[in-house]
Structure 1
Amino acid sequence: MPTYHAADGTPLHYDDSAPGDRPPVIVLAGGAARHPDYLGDLAGLRERHRLVVPHLRGVGHSPGGLEPERAGSYWQQAGDLEELREQLGRDRLVIAGHSAGTRLATAYAARFPERVAGLVLITPPAGHLVGTPPDAEELIARRRGEPVFDAAEAAVKSGPDLSGSAAFTAWHRACAPLSYAAWGPAEQAHARVGEWALPAVQAYFSVAPPADFAARLTRVTAPVLVVAGAEDCLTGLAPVVALAGLFPAGRAEVLPACGHYPWVERPHDFRRVLDEYLSLVEVDHHLG
């Protein structure tokens, strides 16, 4: 497994689907601090694109470092991505983040806007960046009455078990039906993949970003794609779509009958949208 060293000397690991000279797409897992195994092959995206998937601090094969609470925050881990860019020998990066991974993706974009060649934000939490009223509760209300869904909502309301990573993971899995527009065999199998690292979760949110976080994103001139699930009960829909408007070259793509994991729930639509976007970025921005 390839390794690079962060500025503080911490050895950080990443998966590389096609080592070599091809332009990489940096893929950031969410969770927060969920093992990136749950990303799978992103509906076959690696067939056409080189995917580089970092193991974030304290997750998978990467240690937390000497000061995990500070260094492991998503705002500080943007510096780790800058070190990874240099390791890969690229002038700019295309970054795709999912869910909480979009916090790190946008932190990098805010701190290093000139280093961003493209940005894909997949079902991102957006309430901390836009003032659009949340609508997740409206989506949840439409689903009530489904026994499995109701049990998942009750688990969410009970709050997480913070006694350890195994208990925290078990709580997430009890909540999982809330994350999908349907709860079929594919969704159930996917929900069992990828454990959460509780200390890394806590570190991820340990440093608040600056007050001008959202304003900094207006300086990102690269094309930005926001992928939303029309039935995402975790993020809602309206704030996610509004997030695209922060960026000078942002646009939103809403996938119907889809929750929080579009490559699982709408694989063909997800693959089409990502292939089109990544091909455009590679042609128009001449990745260095």
Structure 2
Amino acid sequence: MLYLPGMDGTGGLFYRQARALEREFCIRPLSLNHPEAGNSWETLADWVGSQLETGAYLCGESFGACLALLVVARWPERCRGLVLVNPASSLRRRPWWWAGHWLLPFLPPGLYHQLSERGLGFLAELNQIEPPDRERLRQAVHSVPPEVAAQRLALLGSFVVEELPLESMTLPTLLVAGGRDRLLPSVQEVGQLAERLPRAQVEISPLSGHACLLERQMNLRRYLLKPDGVFAPLLLNSAASR
């Protein structure tokens, strides 16, 4: 399973889920900050495609969920399953993204750091995250230079999910949304995506925020192994064949 991270691009915030999933998958988080990844949707998708072995699963969070959709659209034959967590495909429909894209590069470093710190409570349900993981989240957020954040906001502003052939993506897809996501309307977005994806399973975590994969109660494995879920037959058959 390749994990494609959110705006921080680090890939390091998936470790809690990776621990639980390592019985079913070989987990490989990708860093979108890799020098070969590039800075456009095309170069990012090409780079992920170069890392994608046939039969792999893709898990994308927020920004990474949009990238995962692009990769699956280009190489559907290589992918066995898709997991999208709080996909940021709705961001271009939010009124504030344009201002963030233009203003971020001009903010003084001190102000940018201060706004990033204050935004943590908007990004995540911090009371659902253990103190060491709050620090991991803080470091990941602060690791993103303002020009990179602006660039990724611009990419999300140009991402038009309506133009992707979702109806032809027949691989099993798990859509996860945080019920307390204050950054994006993720519950609404996964519902809209599910209407277009033929084999979609929607799971709403009612107490979760946007950065939900670090939360103590979040368990992707439980959703993936749900007896009536789209992944259960696939994963149970794989386990039986080992």
Q: TM-score, normalised by structure 2?
A: 0.74
Residue 114 to residue 165, structure 1, CA distance change in 2 (3 Å): farther
Q: Which moved more, 1:260-269 or 1:110-119?
A: 260-269
1:37 aligns with 2:9: no
Residue 209 to residue 160, structure 1, CA distance change in 2 (3 Å): closer
Check the 8 A contact 1:234/1:260 in 2, yes or no. yes
Report how far residue 196 of structure 1 moved. 1.4
The 2-side partners of 1:110 and 1:281 are apart by 21
Q: Which has the larger radius of gyration?
A: 1
- Residue 82 of structure 2 aligns to a residue whose secondary structure is strand
The 2-side partners of 1:91 and 1:212 are apart by 24
Structure whose residues are more often helix by fraction: 2
Q: 2:168 aligns with which of 216, 219, 227?
A: 219
Identity of aligned residues (%): 21
Residue 206 to residue 192, structure 1, CA distance change in 2 (3 Å): closer
Report how far residue 93 of structure 1 moved. 2.1
Report how far residue 165 of structure 1 moved. 7.8
- Residue 40 of structure 1 aligns to a residue whose secondary structure is helix
Report how far residue 125 of structure 1 moved. 1.8
1:1-288 aligned at under 5 Å gives the runs 25-31=1-7, 33-42=8-17, 44-48=19-23, 49-56=25-32, 59=33, 62-63=34-35, 71-85=38-52, 90-127=53-90, 160=104, 162-163=106-107, 168=112, 170-183=114-127, 186=130, 188-194=134-140, 195-204=143-152, 205=154, 214-236=163-185, 237-276=187-226, 280-283=233-236
The 1-side partners of 2:11 and 2:106 are apart by 21
The 2-side partners of 1:269 and 1:107 are apart by 25
Residue 166 to residue 111, structure 1, CA distance change in 2 (3 Å): farther
2:26 is aligned with what amino acid?
A: R
- Residue 194 of structure 2 aligns to a residue whose secondary structure is helix
Q: Which moved more, 1:240-249 or 1:114-123?
A: 240-249
Aligned pairs, number: 225
Residue 198 to residue 107, structure 1, CA distance change in 2 (3 Å): farther
Check the 8 A contact 2:54/2:77 in 1, yes or no. no
Residue 280 to residue 179, structure 1, CA distance change in 2 (3 Å): farther
2:165 is aligned with what amino acid?
A: R
Residue 37 to residue 201, structure 1, CA distance change in 2 (3 Å): same
The 2-side partners of 1:234 and 1:50 are apart by 31
Check the 8 A contact 2:57/2:80 in 1, yes or no. yes
Q: TM-score, normalised by structure 1?
A: 0.64
The 2-side partners of 1:207 and 1:181 are apart by 23
- The root-mean-square deviation of aligned C-alpha atoms, in Å, is 3.7
- Residue 228 of structure 1 aligns to a residue whose secondary structure is strand
